[in-house]
Amino acid sequence: MSTSVAAAGAARPMTREEKKVIVASSLGTVFEWYDFYLYGSLAAIIGAKFFGQFDPTTRNIFALLAFAAGFLVRPFGALVFGRLGDLVGRKYTFLITIVIMGTSTFLVGILPTSDQIGITAAVILIILRLLQGLALGGEYGGAATYVAEHAPQGRRGFYTSWIQTTATMGLFLSLIVILFTRTILGEEAFADWGWRIPFLISVLLLGISVWIRLQLQESPAFQKMKAEGTGSKAPLSEAFGQWKNAKIALIALLGLTAGQGVVWYTGQFYALFFLQSILKVDGYTANLLIAWSLILGTGGFILFGWLSDKIGRKPIILAGCALAAATYFPLFQTMTREANPALYQAQQTIPVTVVAPAADCHFQFNPTGTATFTSACDIAKAVLANLSVPYRSEVSPPGTVAAVRVGTASVASFDATQAGAEAPARRAAFTRELTAALTAAGYPAAANPSVVKMAHPFDIFRQQPAVIIGILFILVIYVTMVYGPIAAALVELFPTRIRYSGMSLPYHIGNGWFGGLLPATAFALIAATGDIYYGLWYPIVFAIMTLIIGIIFVPETKDRDIFANDGR
């Protein structure tokens, strides 16, 4: 396409039809992400309701397994619906995905609990989570492809950046609905039955999304391809079975979406996990802090999408990976110092040592929640990691029982396999004894007045919440840098006949697997090393990998005519 035509496309305002396409695609995708995030935000309550027949530790394992299932199945959804989208069309495919997603979420809201139907409740819940993951795997590629194929040359980054806001807006919407429902009903009623309301509301969002999407026409690029008979008869085989296309998908994964996925997940999900689980900030305050950072930072998706039309997709995405890798450690350390000063001080000044035989200690990597770590050393390290206590390791003679040394006190751990049915009670007793020893040595008690706490949503004009929101805002800016231009970058790598399939798989492996494995990997790294920041090496390593591979192998595509090779 000539420079003059590209310039004209970049200069003219959006048409009414183009605005309708963006609104319909973006709004539907917001609702899909809303549905998906509800489970993550309410995982603890859902674990109690649907896995209540198990002890608390096993219950939490199964709750995390069900959450992970939705992430791990996303690439398979990309394959199923990507193929369908390349064969029958973009519009009808993402109509199917939103119906599956919305219906599955609504059914969670009316699903009987384990108290009512036993283990069947857990089985049905996991099936619904798998359906959610499959639908989400097909949704993003359809929406991004649909918008990109409507966008004029020279404005694809700006047009598709609206789709990129949907994940953050879906998370934000889920947090707001949960906070509002909790505030109206109170914690007791919300935990009892009110948690169902956010899931039930999704049926209204589903109706709105379906109605809007039914008004749309099929993508003009897809219509032209079908009319000319140039579509692929086997899009999956062509996209991933032929090296010339499979190579592009591999480069897209390792040189773009892997780093994008871990930076995105760190800035939105791991930050929330770190505040609540590591820094012991209450859920209400942590959610409000994240919500404010999203409000302030979401415009960055549009900014960097627009900027990528000017200077390119590649430099912005890779710059986001580089900045994240360079600054994660100081940012999270500053967050610790501000959010929980007493805990931060104790971590710096009170030595804690795990004394255990080397063979007794294992790397506690548990991405699906099904592995069990029962040795005395593993139990001691897992409890310390959950208490956010850094420690060093000291090797003791084989056959000795692992113990935790806090100052002059020593607390013996236990082997869960030898404890048998008494293991849960023994673990609870060990945790209480260790907590008492830590408190006596100077670690803050659970009711720690130094922890940041917000009285209401607008309680942000004090130093403590303001500084934390500022740190979270920086993390969100990194997210917008890597995520804002990614849709345009991916759609520009593949021809129309395999675009839906080609872009969806690397996107969902990068986000669903590389990003989705972050919590489990981070916890394993923290437990193995005794360093609460060591989990950050996971996103840093993959961000650096993407930076290097991206610089060497990823082409710049902002000026590419995405329809040039459709007839070949």
Count of CB atoms situated within 10 Å of the CB of 407: 14
Please tell me which residue, 121 or 520, carries the higher pLDDT value: 121
pLDDT at 6: 45
| Residue 8 banded pLDDT, cuts 50, 70, 90 | very low
The average pLDDT across 365-385 equals 80
| Residue 364 banded pLDDT, cuts 50, 70, 90 | confident
| Residue range 73-87, pLDDT digits in tens | 888 888 888 888 777
Residue 543: closest CA among 472, 474, 479: 479
Please tell me which residue, 269 or 469, carries the higher pLDDT value: 469
Both tokens of 53, joined, read 């027949």
pLDDT at 366: 67
Share of the chain above pLDDT 70, in %: 90
Q: What is the 3-state secondary structure (H, E, C) of 463-512?
A: HHHHHHHHHHHHHHHHHHHHHCCHHHHHHCCCCHHHHHHHHHHHHHHHHH
């002059």: which residue's tokens? 408
pLDDT at 216: 74
Distance CA 135, CA 520 (A): 24
pLDDT at 308: 96
| Residue range 310-342, pLDDT digits in tens | 999 999 999 999 999 999 999 999 999 999 999
pLDDT at 7: 44
- Contact by Cβ (8 Å): 436, 382: no
pLDDT at 371: 66
**433: pLDDT strictly greater than 50:** yes
Distance CA 247, CA 256 (A): 13
pLDDT at 247: 92
User: What is the rounded end-to-end Cα distance, in angstroms, of the chain?
Assistant: 17
Residue 69: closest CA among 109, 45, 36, 99: 36
Edge-to-edge order in the sheet of strand 409-412: 392-395, 352-356, 403-406, 409-412
Distance CA 539, CA 537 (A): 6
Count of CB atoms situated within 10 Å of the CB of 44: 15
| Residue range 165-185, pLDDT digits in tens | 887 788 788 888 888 898 899
Name the E strands within 366-491: 392-395, 403-406, 409-412
| Residue 53 banded pLDDT, cuts 50, 70, 90 | low
Distance CA 532, CA 135 (A): 35
Q: Which of 83-92, 132-141, 215-224, 379-388 has the highest mean pLDDT?
A: 379-388
DSSP 306-334: HHHHHH-HHHHHHHHHHHHHHHHHHHHHH
Share of the chain above pLDDT 90, in %: 40
pLDDT at 59: 65
Distance CA 39, CA 174 (A): 10
| Residue range 92-118, pLDDT digits in tens | 887 888 888 889 889 989 999 888 888
pLDDT at 5: 38
- Contact by Cβ (8 Å): 388, 530: no
Both tokens of 374, joined, read 């029962």
Least confident of 112-121, 361-370, 454-463: 361-370
| Residue range 239-267, pLDDT digits in tens | 787 888 889 999 999 999 999 999 998 99
Both tokens of 250, joined, read 């591999």
The average pLDDT across 195-212 equals 87
pLDDT at 13: 67
The average pLDDT across 432-458 equals 90
379: Cα within 13 Å, side-chain hemisphere: 25
Least confident of 59-68, 101-110, 376-385, 459-468: 59-68
pLDDT at 137: 80
Both tokens of 371, joined, read 């592995």
The average pLDDT across 272-299 equals 89
pLDDT at 230: 64
Mean pLDDT over all residues of the chain? 85
| Residue range 496-525, pLDDT digits in tens | 778 878 888 898 888 878 887 887 788 888
